[in-house]
């Protein structure tokens, strides 16, 4: 194929085309980062609960859903800002009750019991939500005062609310980090992961600490739901949709590691977002070594577009991490 036969593009047009692609990549990266930060908001609580207390809480994402529904319910009464403060507190209260009256009794019997109980709990919560609000998505929206474009690239507006969600997640990360490393409560939590009996013998009320951590973890998920529910859809399936991904984040990041949860959330958010927007297929790579036509003939996986595999990528990452580094990216080993 001679260069002369190819349709010629003027240099400004090429520049413009490249600019557009670059803008799309920037959008994809930003969206991925924000989605990753949302994953972090929910997985932060699960990391605390699962990684630090060893409690398998399948219902964690249900706390996220409850946060969204509570905020939706409160918003007309209190306004958006008070609603996103009150709803995590309500979720924390529910979390504390769940820990105190359900999980504490089940914990001694092992993970299988915890999984069954919390799975049952997640079903109960979802059904109650359906009874109270119906089976379909509710009209929980970004408040008008926050619904504007932060900037625009190539004529496409980027919503400020996405940045707002990202900002809350970052603030949450910094707050948890400082809480865990700079306060006495944080030190007690970190040591109670490994040697709860010794911590108790040193005069710390470990069951109370665990109850507090559970409530705090639930509140984080509730805050994420209250904030993100307004942007994404709030429906009775939102717990299920996010729940699995959150477990993937905790495993990939490493049990008990906040930094790991953040890294894994961003990794999964960004790869997911880039993959969704990509038309790449293996045949394209093979074409570079002259096997393009052969690959097109074979078809199947070779001609499957990356975008249609996007949903499987987090699980592929989890598989890879579990094989190469079973303790997770930054799993704290004693």
Partner 1 sequence: MSNPILKVENLNAHYGKSHILHGVSFNVARGEVVSLLGRNGSGRSTTLKSIMGLVPPSAGRVQLDGAEIAGERSFHICRRGLSYVPEEREIFLNLSVDENLEMGRQAGPAGATKWAVDQMFTYFPRLKERRNTRAGSLSGGEQQMLTMCRSLLGNPLVMLIDEPTEGLAPKIVAVVGEVIRDINEKGVSVVLVEQKLTIAMTVSHRICVMGHGQVVFAGTPQALNERPDVTEEWLAV
Beta bridge partners of 152: 157
β strands within the chain, DSSP E: 149-153, 156-159
Which of 98-106, 195-203, 269-277, 318-326 is the region at the interface with partner 1 (rule: CB under 8 A)? 195-203
Query: In this complex, which beta carbon is closest to partner 1, that of residue 11 or of residue 203?
Result: 203
Indicate whether 172 belongs to the interface with partner 1 (CB under 8 A).
Answer: no
C-alpha of 298 from chain center: 37
Query: In this complex, which beta carbon is closest to partner 1, that of residue 104 or of residue 305?
Result: 104
What is the crossing angle of helices 160-182 and 184-194, to 10°? Answer: 80
Query: In this complex, which beta carbon is closest to partner 1, that of residue 184 or of residue 288?
Result: 184
Q: Of residues 22, 156, 201, 301, which one binds partner 1 by CB under 8 A?
A: 201
What are the distances in angstroms from CA 174 to CA 16, 42, 107, 122, 183? 39, 15, 30, 29, 13
Query: In this complex, which beta carbon is closest to partner 1, that of residue 201 or of residue 285?
Result: 201
Indicate whether 148 belongs to the interface with partner 1 (CB under 8 A).
Answer: no
Which of 83-91, 163-171, 200-208, 247-255 is the region at the interface with partner 1 (rule: CB under 8 A)? 200-208
DSSP state of 175: H
Q: Of residues 184, 279, 288, 324, which one binds partner 1 by CB under 8 A?
A: 184
Which residues 6+ apart lie within 8 Å of 331 measured at CB?
Answer: 253, 254, 255, 256, 257, 260, 325
Q: Of residues 198, 244, 293, 311, which one binds partner 1 by CB under 8 A?
A: 198
Indicate whether 195 belongs to the interface with partner 1 (CB under 8 A).
Answer: yes
Please report, to the nearest 10 degrees, the dihedral formed by the alpha carbons of residues 312, 31, 83, 57 taken in order.
20
Indicate whether 108 belongs to the interface with partner 1 (CB under 8 A).
Answer: no
Dihedral sign, Cα of residue 113, residue 117, residue 123, residue 126: negative
Indicate whether 197 belongs to the interface with partner 1 (CB under 8 A).
Answer: yes
Tell me which residues touch partner 1 (CB under 8 A): 184, 187-188, 190-191, 193-195, 197-206, 332, 334
């Amino acid at each position: 194929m001679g260069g002369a036969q190819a349709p010629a593009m003027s240099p400004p047009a090429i520049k413009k085309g490249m600019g557009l692609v670059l803008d799309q990549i920037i959008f994809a990266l930003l969206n991925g980062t924000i989605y990753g930060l949302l994953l972090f908001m929910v997985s932060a609580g699960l990391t605390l609960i699962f990684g630090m207390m060893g409690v398998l809480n399948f219902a964690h994402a249900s706390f996220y859903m409850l946060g969204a529904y509570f905020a939706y319910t409160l918003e007309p009464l209190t306004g958006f800002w008070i609603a996103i403060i009150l709803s995590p507190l309500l979720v924390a209260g529910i979390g504390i009750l769940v820990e105190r009256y359900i999980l504490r009794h089940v914990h001694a019997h092992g993970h299988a019991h915890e999984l069954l109980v919390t799975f049952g709990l997640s079903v109960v919560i979802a059904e109650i939500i359906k009874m109270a609000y119906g089976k379909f998505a509710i009209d929980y929206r970004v408040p008008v005062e926050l619904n504007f474009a932060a900037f625009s690239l190539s004529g496409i507006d980027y919503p400020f609310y996405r940045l707002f969600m990202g900002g809350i997640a970052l603030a949450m990360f910094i707050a948890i980090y400082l809480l865990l490393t700079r306060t006495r409560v944080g030190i007690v939590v970190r040591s109670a992961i490994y040697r709860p009996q010794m911590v108790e013998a040193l005069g710390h009320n470990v069951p109370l600490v665990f109850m507090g951590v559970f409530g705090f973890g639930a509140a984080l998920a509730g805050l994420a739901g209250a904030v993100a529910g307004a942007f994404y859809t709030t429906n009775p399936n939102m717990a299920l949709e996010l729940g699995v991904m959150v477990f993937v984040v905790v495993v990939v990041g490493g049990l008990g590691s906040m930094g790991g949860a953040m890294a894994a959330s961003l990794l999964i958010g960004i790869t997911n977002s880039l993959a969704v927007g990509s038309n790449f297929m293996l045949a394209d790579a093979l074409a570079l070594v002259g096997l393009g036509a052969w690959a097109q003939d074979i078809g199947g996986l070779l001609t499957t577009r990356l975008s249609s595999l996007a949903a499987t990528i987090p699980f592929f990452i989890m598989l890879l991490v579990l094989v190469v580094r079973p303790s997770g990216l930054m799993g704290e080993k004693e």
